[in-house]
Structures are given as C-alpha cells and as structure tokens.
Structure 1
C-alpha cells in the first residue's frame, strides 16, 4: 500500500537537519536559529539532495507562530498592552511610515512602480515577533520594561499589517496591479476600511470582555476531570481554535488571534499550567518556522542582485533601527530603551512573506522583489543577534556619541512605565501567590494530601465545593444517602452516634463511610461552631480516589478504624446496660 509521506518527511527532515545544524551553530558560538535557517536552505528546492514540501513546511511553521504567540499572550496581559501603548502605538505607526517611505525611495532607484515600492516597503517595515521573542528570552528581557515595549510595538505592527492585507487588494488597481474584484470607487474603499475596523473591534471586544469569562470556565471544568492529556488538548484546542476563528470570521491573522487567546487565558489561575503544557510544542514548532523560512530562500539572488540585497538589508538593519531609536527619544523615553527596540526591529519575518505573496498575486511586486525580501529576511534574522550585541556595546558610549542628549533623559517616563508594569506584575504575582497559599493551607490543614503531587492538589481545589454551617445546623442526617465527604476547614462538629457523641475539629473529615460502603448515613452530624467545609461530592470522590489508590487506602483504613471504635463503644455501652 502506498502512503503519502510528505508530512512525515518534512517533520522528520526538518527536525533532523535542524538538530544537526543547530548543534553546529552552537559549537561555532552562533545562535541555534542560524543553524535552523541553514537546515531549511539545505532541504529547500534551491539546493541538491533531499527536498521537502515547502507548502507543508509553511503550514507547520504557522502552527509554530500560533503557539509562540499564544505563549506570549499567557505572560502578557491586556493591562500590559495598555501600559506600553503610549510609546508602542505612536512609535510603531510612525516607524512603519518611515520604513515604507524608505522602501519606496529605494525601489525608485531600481525603476520599480509605486505599487511595487509600497509592497516592498511595507514588507520590510514589519519585524518578526518570533525572532524578537527568541532574542529577548536569551537576554532575560521579556519582563523588562524595554522588552515589554518591544513586544507591544510589534503587536501594533501586526495589527497595522492586518489592515494593510485587507486594503491592499482594494487599492491594487490604482497602484498598477490587478484588483481581485471590480473597483467601486472611493465609497467601496471606505466601506472596506469600515468593515475591517469593525471586525477587528468586534474581535477585540469579544476577546477582552467575553473571553475572560468563558475560557477560564472551560479550563476549570476540564481540569476537574483530572486528565492531564485532556487538559493539554483543551489548551491547544483553545489556542488553535481562537486563532483559526479570528482569521476566518474576523479577518485577523492567526498569530494575533493566538496572542489574544493567550491574553484571555492569562486571567485564569491555571495559566501557569497551560504555559508549561504548551511549551514543548512551542519550542518544536518554532524550529519548523525557521526551517521553513530557510526553505524559501534562493541563494542565487546573492549573485544576481548583490547590491539590491545589501540595500534591502541596510534599510532593515540601519533604517529601521535608527528610526525606531529616534522615535523612542522623541517620545521622551531613554536611550537604552531605544537601542533595545531598535535592535529588536532589525529583522523581518512571517508578515513580510505574507505581504510579499499577496503583492505578487496582485501583480504589484515582481518575482525579484519576493526573492529580495526572502534574502533580506534570512540575512537579517541571522545578523539580528549581532545587532543586539552591538546595541549592548553602544549603550555605555551613547552619552559620548550624543552629547546633546541630557543626562538622565527619559528617566522619568521610564520610571513611570516601570512602576506601572511592576504594579501589574505584582497583581499577577499576588494572584499566583494566593493560589499557592491555598494549596499550602490545604496540606497544612489536611496532612493526608501531602503525598499527592502539586497538580493533584490543584485539582482538589477545583473539585472541592465550599459549604458553611452555623452552630446547631444539622450537616448530615441518619439514613441520608451519602452525597459527599466533608473536610473541616474551620469550626467543629459533633458526630451523634446511637450511644455516644464524638467532636471533630478543623483538619478532620467525616462522611467517608457511606461513600466507601455505598450504605446510608449511620450518624447525625451537627455543627457546634461556625463551620467552613470543603465537600468532595460522590462522583468527584470516586474519580479522584480511583486515580490515587494510596489515598483511598488511607481513607479506607481510617474509616475502618472509626468503624471498629464505634463498634467497641457500642459493645461497652451494651455491656454496661446489661449490668
């Protein structure tokens, strides 16, 4: 039987070649991603030997981008976006305009049309979020104010590119290409813009207001099942489902949809668990992203158009970096932040390829333009670590190079931003700390749970149903069907046996006998103080205990001991009555 092994070939070939060349790059003291790019070139159609399916590779790479952006969203709340908006929004918009104008000016020298120049400039204006995140992670800058600004800056760039992708077909005819549909004049363009903005706004409203209510609820329900596989599957389903739905329904990119899915999920107490479960897949598929970029590269462009490649690369590394640095200074933020943001923007990636492909299909961008964009992407991604190193070297000497910039310039606005981000981070940490304290309190109050792992303790907190009782309330009645096992968090109860009474305080439990035996309740339980209980209902009790037989055995042993003590008391009572 014949099998189509193209998918298996790209996954196996991509990982094998990436592992080999990534290791070689590390031995040469280069970033591993350089090795991943080389691996893509080696298995691409432009080099002899094994050739993988580039179309499949690009789809797998899209999954990597989705998962990576989802991971960013898990650690980047909506409050973070609002906090950095003052610098990220105007900075990103102005930087896109400057880079696009530089691109148009460069293509004018080559004799291209204005439409080709616009597509070329836009393609070089937007940086790769994947590359930026890798660079920030290596330097522990993800949580720094400059790192947060850089990520927010690229999110704004991505939103702007979504708008550009929608509007480009509407203007294609005017710019010298062929429109996908008949032109309807200015009114049609205005309607297109309005519809696009409404779609993006509708998605943002749903993500911000409805998402935090629905997604954490779904995660909690799934986590209560106790199945780690089902929880991981649900996390991936939410990430990929929201990303796909955002693209199909609202016209938002997969990456942005996944980012907002992560932002929504970050509001859940289970966000740290979701991040840990999705991290291995993020790492694996992000490798395939770089491999797929390398597969698209045609090395012959370096020989055919060396000056054009150098010009495009100079625009990306020098033009974008310098313009971003100047814009950060004009917005009255410090030079250090400007250098980090500038270095982060000194590369291009996934949106550049999408724009170039659309421009080519609309007859705006020649094939040579696509090849130049791919060559510039490969080289800029490879050189980006060196740009970051140069930025770090430049920081101490910047006061000498720019003596007109006063000492401490931008410090006030940076400090305000840092305090705001720190406040947001502290709120998130406080939420996580309270969650951790709940688990610690659970073990301290009920030492029997010390033997189960952290995930199981977390699951217990989700399974428990809180219940309270005032003094004199009858919590359990004789003859009732066993509905759950009660754990006393605070207060005390009195177990009223036929011939005796037993008082139980905080840290004790009751109601387990009926659950284990399936019989009716054999005693009344009355609150003698203001009580708080954690109730494990019958179904949850059976499910949890089945996964932790050692805990069930311990509960059974304690129940048997209680049963024997109760029988012994009853016998003594009967003996006394007989005498």
Structure 2
C-alpha cells in the first residue's frame, strides 16, 4: 500500500491474536489475560514472523490505562479515598520500602551497584493498575471495602512513583549513573514536584468538581448520544494528558481524578456505561503490549534470577502487604485480598526500568528481568485471587485453634457493654455503610427506628460509634459478626453491600439464628434478583426496577389526580 499502516496492522494483529489465544485460554479454564499475554509474545520482536509496532502498542495500552482509571474514578469518591487513608498511606509506603529493600539486596548479591539495585527494587515495589482493577471487577469487589483499600493503596503508590520518576534524574550522578549537568538542586526539584502535584489535586477538586459536571450537563442537553460519549472520552484522555504535561503526574493518576470529579455529575453512571466497551478493548491491548516486551531468552540465560524476581513480587510484596493490613486491625480476608491484588507489577515498573537504563543506572538485563517478572506475576495473579478464599478459611481455622487471634480481641468487632437495650432487640441490622447504606441509615434515624450497622470499614465503624450509632466491624459472612449485632433478636436484616455474591451466606446465617427474620437485599442484576427471590432468600431491590416503579407510581398518580380548574380573571 502507498501509505504506512503500522497502526492498523498493530490493532488487527493485537486484537485478532488476543481473541484466538484468549479463547483458547478460556477453554482450558485459564484466565483470558494469559492468552492476551501470549498474543503479545507472538507478535513481539523476540519471536519470528510478523512484528507489530511496539511503540504504537504501548501508546494504545496507555489509553487503556487512562480509560480504566477514569472508570474507577467514576465509582470512587474523595470520601472513599479519605476513608482508607489510615491504612493505605502508611501501608503503601512501608510495603514499597520492603519490596525495594528485597529487590536491592538481590541485585547487589548479583554484583550490581547500589544505584542499579535501588532502581530495580523500586520497579518491583509498585503494582499494575490494570491488573488490580480487572481482578477486582471480575470478582465484583471493586466497590467493596477491601476493593477501596486496594485502590487507595494503588493511588498512594502512583503518587510515590511520580515523585521517584522526577527526583531520579538529579540523583543519577550520585548513584553512579549518567546525568546531564543541571543547576537545580535536589530539594528544589522535590519541592517543585510536590507543589505541582498539590496544585493539580487542588485544581481538580476545587475547579474540576464544578466545571466538568456543568460541561457534561450542557452536552447532555443537546440530546446527542455521540456528543455525550465524545465528551466523556475527551474528559478522560485530555485531562490525563494535560495533567501529565502541566503538572508532571502520570496519565493514570490524571484520569483517575478526572473520573472522581465527573462523579459529581448525575450522569456518572451513564458515563461509565458509555466508556465500558472502550475500556475493555484497550485493556486487552495493555496485556498484549506487556507480552511484546518479553524476551523468552532471559528464562534460559538467567532462570534462577527470574525465580528470585517472581518470589519477591508474588510472595515478598504479598506477605508484607498482608502483615501491614492485619497490623491495622483489618480482618484476614481484607489482608489476603489486598496482598493478592498487589502481588504483581506492571506499567510503572516498565517506565522506571526504561528510565533507569537511559540514565545508565540499570543494566539492560535488569529491564529484561523486570519484564519477565511482570509477565509471570500477571499470569499467576488470578490463581492467587482464587486461592485467597480457601487460604483465608484455612488460616482463620488455624488461628482460632491456636488462640492467636479471635474476633473478640478486636474492640470494634463487638458491641460495647453500654449499648442501649433498644438496639439489642427488634432492631434493624444494616450490613454495609456505603452510599446506599448511608441513605438507609439516615432514613431509619429520622424515623426513630433503632438499627445496628455491620461494616468492613474500620474508619466508618469508628465514626458511627463516635456519633452514637451502634456498629460492628467485620464481614457479615462470619457468623460472629451477625451474632455481635444481635441478629437473633432483630426484626429485619438489610443487606446494602454491592457484593451480592455473598448474600446467600449472610441470609443462611441470619435465618439459622433467627428463623422469623425478614431480609431485604440490594442488587444490580435482574436475573440474580429473580433467583434470590425464587429461593425465598429475601426481598430483592434492583436499582433500575425500583426507579421505574417509582416513576410509574408518580405518573399514574399525576394522571389520576383531578386537574385544577383554570383561574378566570
């Protein structure tokens, strides 16, 4: 053809082979993303045959990261982020320090310099945005308490890596690398970076929260679906690019805050639905681009080093994260969810590795090891998520048997002895204190109906107790949590969590302890709601159905009401 078609050929080969190998992986009962990674290896430069344009694939993958983080921001409020700051901020910093120390120690044992080891360890310390979010989405845990902690942890890691990428070039000379002479001091560079990031966050939260929802509303009034979709995509991509250009933050972080500010709009759910196909498609290209970076010869030349890298990523980081989450008083399930989600590396690792090689700090072999570790850890990540539940049950049984940690050892896991009697009998037990749970709690409080909240967010439980509302910390699938909420004497159980996959377990426990209890459940899925109601588990409320019923009731009432006679002058 007379013109270059590298973009078209990359898209065609990437999507086509991802479909083929993804289908094969799914038929073999493996995660489809393994097929996407294999597709990238096939069209990468390390294998014979057609070689796709790696630079174009990387940019397309970056768009996928932007759209994915934008979608997360649409479901993640500033309040959600602040609610997990006590565990996410110190947890992420300490976990990154542990992983960096492990990676640095391994590199220095191989004979590398301290500077090379530091860059190598930092690259192993930060998890992949795409892998974590896809794992949480596929398991319906994106809006859960565990999911919010993991996302908050990820945001802190992204912010830390922004600082690392900025201060590494001025430090390269002192660490043994090559750096162009500069008149700016390290403290000036660091201070400027902090000010730029702070200015970006302030601008998005103060100006963006008012401006972007207003713009989206103006576009919506045109009645054009194409313009609405275009406006959403422009907001995600342009804000991400502009934030990177003007403030030096990552594309992913910029897109995340763009989603957070657009969440204030009443059309946030529609925006999430409109971008879903694009997010899924470009997320596939991310995994394909990772596969293209992989050089299989590193497995033959340095198999033991690859094994050490994988162990640091999968076990070193995971154990450190789990221990930190447990140390903050969160349950074992939360610790395992967070540790499984962080047991891999991705896009920031590649960026840091490329910068390290360019500065003469990291040997090319180190970049190959990082890519190999990323590929293997990403492929293993779904397996560790699947094993987290049975492992949690096993460890919980062992700790209970050994008496190492019981539910009663946590003061937030049981109601205080001073709890008023009205909250212990004929009360409503409300499971989940998210957006829906808060609305229900507010209505019950105004109606004077006593209720007890059970939630997995420690900060939420602490705030409720400080405000005089009885609350129990823990997962309601654990019988001890509902027992502490006095479910045996309750009038009703209201399950307001988005994790409807666990509803049956909660309902079974409640009916075992209180056969006469009435149960109400929220759901996002019509088919799931019909199944639950057919089983007699509970009265299920589906968002779209309830909205339609309320509108129909209003319309019929308005039509049936007699019209007021027109006034005559």
| Whole-angstrom distance in 1 between the partners of 2:282 and 2:309 | 28
1:265 is the counterpart of 2:337: no
Structure 1 equivalent of residue 368 of structure 2: 371
The 1:410/1:274 distance shift into structure 2, 3 A limit, reads farther
Q: Indicate the larger mover: 321-330 or 399-408.
A: 399-408
CA RMSD of aligned residues (A): 2.9
| Whole-angstrom distance in 1 between the partners of 2:20 and 2:312 | 32
How far off is 1:421 after superposition? 7.2
| Whole-angstrom distance in 2 between the partners of 1:13 and 1:198 | 43
**Mapping 1:434-445, distance limit 5 Å:** none
**Mapping 1:381-400, distance limit 5 Å:** 381-400=378-397
Verify the 8 A CA contact 2:340 2:381 in the aligned structure 1. Answer: yes
Structure 2 equivalent of residue 405 of structure 1: 404
How far off is 1:493 after superposition? 5.8
**Mapping 1:139-288, distance limit 5 Å:** 139-182=139-182, 184=184, 188-288=185-285
The 1:273/1:178 distance shift into structure 2, 3 A limit, reads same
Deviations 1:450-495 (A, max 9, x none): 9xxxxxxxxxxxxxxxxxxxxxxxxxxxxxxxxxxxxx99984627
Structure 1 equivalent of residue 289 of structure 2: 292
Q: Secondary structure at the match of 1:494?
A: coil
1:104 is the counterpart of 2:104: yes
Q: Secondary structure at the match of 1:406?
A: coil
How far off is 1:140 after superposition? 1.7
Q: Secondary structure at the match of 2:84?
A: helix
| Whole-angstrom distance in 2 between the partners of 1:197 and 1:260 | 17
Verify the 8 A CA contact 2:332 2:396 in the aligned structure 1. Answer: no
The 1:18/1:489 distance shift into structure 2, 3 A limit, reads farther
Q: Indicate the larger mover: 396-405 or 311-320.
A: 396-405
Structure 2 equivalent of residue 422 of structure 1: 433
| Whole-angstrom distance in 1 between the partners of 2:414 and 2:7 | 50
Aligned length: 456
Verify the 8 A CA contact 1:78 1:263 in the aligned structure 2. Answer: yes
Structure 1 equivalent of residue 21 of structure 2: 21
How far off is 1:424 after superposition? 3.8
| Whole-angstrom distance in 2 between the partners of 1:489 and 1:97 | 68
Q: Which has the larger radius of gyration?
A: 1
| Whole-angstrom distance in 1 between the partners of 2:111 and 2:413 | 44
What's the TM-score, normalizing by structure 1? 0.74
Verify the 8 A CA contact 2:84 2:148 in the aligned structure 1. Answer: yes
Structure 2 stretches lacking a partner, 5+ long: 416-428, 444-523, 525-541
| Whole-angstrom distance in 2 between the partners of 1:336 and 1:125 | 22
Structure 1 equivalent of residue 116 of structure 2: 116
How far off is 1:180 after superposition? 3.7
Q: Secondary structure at the match of 2:222?
A: coil
| Whole-angstrom distance in 2 between the partners of 1:415 and 1:50 | 62
How far off is 1:171 after superposition? 0.6
How far off is 1:266 after superposition? 0.9
Structure 1 equivalent of residue 566 of structure 2: 494
Q: Secondary structure at the match of 2:566?
A: strand
| Whole-angstrom distance in 1 between the partners of 2:366 and 2:431 | 43
| Whole-angstrom distance in 1 between the partners of 2:409 and 2:128 | 27
Verify the 8 A CA contact 2:407 2:413 in the aligned structure 1. Answer: no
| Whole-angstrom distance in 1 between the partners of 2:344 and 2:409 | 26
| Whole-angstrom distance in 2 between the partners of 1:223 and 1:489 | 32
| Whole-angstrom distance in 2 between the partners of 1:199 and 1:420 | 41
The 1:410/1:117 distance shift into structure 2, 3 A limit, reads farther
